[in-house]
Amino acid sequence: MKKVAVIRLQGLIFCSLTAALVLAGVSLAPLPATVQLLLLALAIVIFGVPHGALDPMLAARLYPLKSPLAWVSFVLVYLLLAAAVVLLWWLAPVFFLVAFLVVSAAHFSGDPVGKKPWWFRFLYGGAVLVLPALLHAAQVAELFSFLINPSAANTLADGLHLLAWPWLLAALVAGALQVRADWLASLELLCVAALATLISPLSAFTLFFCAMHGARHVLRVKAFSADASFSSLLRVAAPPMLALTVGAALAWQWMPEVSVSARVVQLLFVALAALTVPHMCLVERVRFGGWVGS
C-alpha cells in the first residue's frame, strides 16, 4: 500500500477508535483510580513512547554518525538535554509545566498530513492540551498538582478552562473550513477535539498519543528511512526502550515516598517532557526539512 494511503488508514482507525470510545462512553471507572492510572501509563509506555525510541533513525539521516564515538556523543547530548529538563522541573516547576504544554502543542501540530494553514495546525496541537480543561478541569488540576504546587495547578487548569470554549469553537470552525480541502484532516481534528473534551483527561491523552501521534510518527519514520521493515524498526527501538525501563526503575527507587499515583504521574510526564526536547530537536528538523509532503 502507498505511504499516504497507509497514513490515511491510520487516521481513519484513530477516528473510529475515538468514535467508539465517545459513543460507548467506555470508561475504566469501575477500576480503582491507581489501577486505572497504572494501566494507562503502561499503554503510553508500550504503544506511545516507542515512537521516540526511533530517534536514532532520524539522527542517522541528519548527521554523519559513522563511528561508535559519534554515536556515543549523540547519546550523551540526547541524555544531557533530557537531564536539563528534569533539572528545570526541580528548580522551576511552574515554568517547566507551562513550557512543556506550549512546546508539546507545537510538537503535536506536526501530526496533520500534507500542507495545512498555520491556524489549523495551531488549533489541532493545542486542542489535545487545552480542551481536557473544558469539562474535566478538576481532574486536570489534580494531575498537574502531582507536578507543581496545588494552588498553581488550580490556576493553570482554570486558565486552560477559560481558553477551552473559544478553542473548541475555533477548532470546529477550522475543521469546517478545511472539509473541502481535506475531509480526513478535518475529521481528525474533530475527533481529537471530541476525545479531549469528552473523555477523561488521561484516557483521552493515552488514545491520542498511541493511536494518533505515536502511530503516525512510526509510519513516517518507516517511509523516511527508505521503507525499513517493521522488524528493523523494532530492533532500533528495543535498546532505548530497555534503557528507559531500567532508568525508570532506578528513578522509582530514588523518588521521595509520595503516593503511588503521584510517583507514576511524575515519572511519566517528567520523563515524557525530558525526552520530548531532544526528540523535537530531531523531529522538527526533519519536519521542516519536509517529511516529503506527508
Ligand X SMILES: CC1=C(/C=C/C(C)=C/C=C/C(C)=C/C=O)C(C)(C)CCC1
Residues at the interface with ligand X (CB under 6 A): 52, 100-101, 104, 107, 129, 132, 140, 143-144, 201, 205, 269, 272, 276, 279
Amino acid at 220: R
How far is residue 198 from each of residues 80, 118, 121, measured CA to CA in Å?
38, 25, 21
How far is residue 255 from each of residues 57, 63, 259, 263, 275, measured CA to CA in Å?
32, 36, 11, 7, 18
Q: How far is the CB of 201 from ligand X (least distance, A)?
A: 4
Q: How far is the CB of 240 from ligand X (least distance, A)?
A: 13
How far is residue 209 from each of residues 76, 107, 152, measured CA to CA in Å?
26, 12, 26
Q: Are 221 and 49 in contact (CB under 8 A)?
A: no
279 is in an annotated binding site: no
**Closest CB to ligand X among 113 and 133?**
133
If 0-12 CB within 10 Å is exposed, 13-18 middle and 19+ buried, where does residue 106 land? middle
**Closest CB to ligand X among 101 and 182?**
101
Q: How far is the CB of 269 from ligand X (least distance, A)?
A: 4
DSSP 214: I
Q: How far is the CB of 128 from ligand X (least distance, A)?
A: 7
Nearest to 122 by CA among 140, 101, 108: 108
Q: How far is the CB of 195 from ligand X (least distance, A)?
A: 11
Cα–Cα distance between 127 and 168 in angstroms, integer? 7
Q: How far is the CB of 237 from ligand X (least distance, A)?
A: 14
Amino acid at 68: P
136 is in an annotated binding site: no
Q: Cell 556515543 sits at which residue?
A: 72
Cα–Cα distance between 197 and 168 in angstroms, integer? 8
Give the annotated binding-site residues for Fe cation: 51, 107, 213, 217
